[in-house]
Chains A and B, each alone.
Chain A
């Protein structure tokens, strides 16, 4: 007789298990002495495109318990922001969600502008350009997320299609601000520079070309047997639970809650554009994937409308206390020189107080909660990272699922290390 240990567990049929053992055969599994197995996925694992560790306890291939550890990319975003002027925080915000950095720039800029009381009085052209830049970034973010989702389930072709489209869109962003990812394009009160000549036309052309790739992606995977089997009914989140868990963005909408900050509390004049909010039904990985696909199409509509309405004019507020003076002013007038010096050395003086500003970023509600003591530096710069909250529910999502289901579930909440760990 084999020795029985306490941690050994006999195989038992779960309630609702539809496997029925034939009566005439002996119960072969009854005598097997099985143990729960502990496996550590990550922190460096090919299927986790952020640095994250998932420790799982398995019963066969079913996940009984798991513990997700994040923080491997923690670099002290908030502490760093407290040391520099309000404007110098922009490069730090690029590195939050590095797949759509322009949206972080916009979110942070709006938060500081809220404390200054100018967030509704920005120059029209700056608002439109911010909308165009944000929506192009949303498309690049969703392209990356959908591409990775397809790739990690075996569809490498779809990945190459999407990443090519993403790179071409990033070429446009490079034309706008000189960098693909480290954009730092926004400034408090507007933007660092205007779009180059003919930029908007090129954006529309690239979008037309890129959206054809999205159609290809859809044709490749939407009705693909393997893809559908791995996605439908996996990682289900009910609408009520999603709200309770603080989910936002395409993941919340995938669960059927039609909440989008752009519609619910419009900023940057989003109420001027006609677009729909795609919502899912079941709240599984497939619904979240389809929501992202459809959102790219809606974003394209917004870009087209914004380009058609784009007014001419300045892209930065005309306020010497907020905006840097033009170089001509700095070099040839003492007032310009002093203004430049004070903004660079002391920072923009933001009135004492607090404010929470939120935008709809690619992963959900990107909030910035700022506290100012009236000086040129932030007292507190809190970033509310949408995917930190999404990742916090990963343990709940994968419980009871199979080990290979971790990959599509983890992909569908689109955890971005830079934003999650800050």
Chain B
């Protein structure tokens, strides 16, 4: 079971791992962004772990969610960029898969709006390349060290990051003027 993976990770990186949970059987570790690269490198390279595939990478914006409802972020308030013990607004979410062991692990890195920077993991997993670009495009998280951090789904002229909770749903930014903008 992936429980072993989580326990070993906690033992190996007691400082970097801020908190863990296993809701619905998904083993999850909250990792401080300062230790992210070390944790990821160990998870990938260590033969016991062998997390050679990064299946998914995404970002969640928790703006406006009451702390009591945010049950999936234990220990996020301890992150190095958390102010006043409050859990930072964003979380970058990584889903890892170890084919040889059949393990899955979720890593979450809390980051705040003031300094939305996370080190890139595209040096470890090529699949992170476009998914990190998507994270920049839709959430405005900068992945430091990414070789080519451009927008991927939207066009370069687009202003803002539409999946942030404070981006209005009805806002339009057409490249070509609309015939009837009020429709």
Given A115-B24, A356-B106, are A389 and B131 also a contact pair (CB < 8 Å)? yes
| Chain A nearest CB, measured from B139 CB (Å) | 10
Tally of B interface residues using CB under 8 Å: 40
Tell me the interface secondary structure of chain A in the complex: mixed
B71 in the interface, Cβ–Cβ < 8 Å? yes
Specify which of A245, A257, A264 is in contact with B127 (CB 8 Å cutoff): A245
Q: Is the CB of B126 within 8 A of A245?
A: yes
Query: What are the residues of chain B within 8 A of A374 when measuring CB–CB?
Result: 69
Q: How many residues of A are in contact with the other chain, CB < 8 A? A: 44
Q: Does B53 contact A (CB under 8 A)?
A: yes
Does B29 belong to the interface (CB within 8 Å)?
A: no
B93 at the interface (CB under 8 A from A): yes
**Is A352's CB under 8 angstroms from B69's CB?**
yes
Q: How far is the CA of A36 from the CA of B161 in the complex (A)?
A: 36
Is B176's beta carbon under 8 Å from chain A? Answer: no
- Which of B62, B69, B93, B130 has a CB less than 8 Å from the CB of A389? B130
Nearest to A71 among chain B residues (CB) is: B153
Chain B residues positioned under 8 Å from A358 (CB to CB):
55
Cα–Cα distance between A379 and B64 once the two chains are bound (Å): 10
Does any Cβ of B come within 8 Å of A227's Cβ? no
For A74-102 the 0/1 string (1 means CB < 8 A from B) is 10101100010000000000000000000
Residue B38 is within 8 A (CB to CB) of chain A in the complex: no
> Is A369 within 8 A of B53, CB to CB?
no
Q: Tell me, in angstroms, the Cα distance from A367 to B66 when the chains sit together.
A: 27
Interface presence of B9 (CB below 8 A): no
Q: Are A257 and B99 in contact (CB under 8 A)?
A: yes
Q: Is A60 an interface residue (CB 8 A)?
A: no
A358 CA / B104 CA spacing, docked (Å): 11
Closest residue to A69 on the B side, CB-wise? B152
A265 to B1, CA, bound (A): 12
8 smallest CB-CB distances across A and B, nearest first, come from: A246-B127, A392-B130, A71-B153, A354-B72, A384-B56, A373-B69, A355-B24, A74-B153
**Footprint of B on A, CB under 8 Å?**
70-71, 74, 76, 78-79, 83, 114-115, 117, 241, 243-246, 248, 257, 259, 264-265, 352-356, 358, 365, 367, 369, 371, 373-374, 379-380, 382, 384, 388-389, 391-393, 396, 421-422
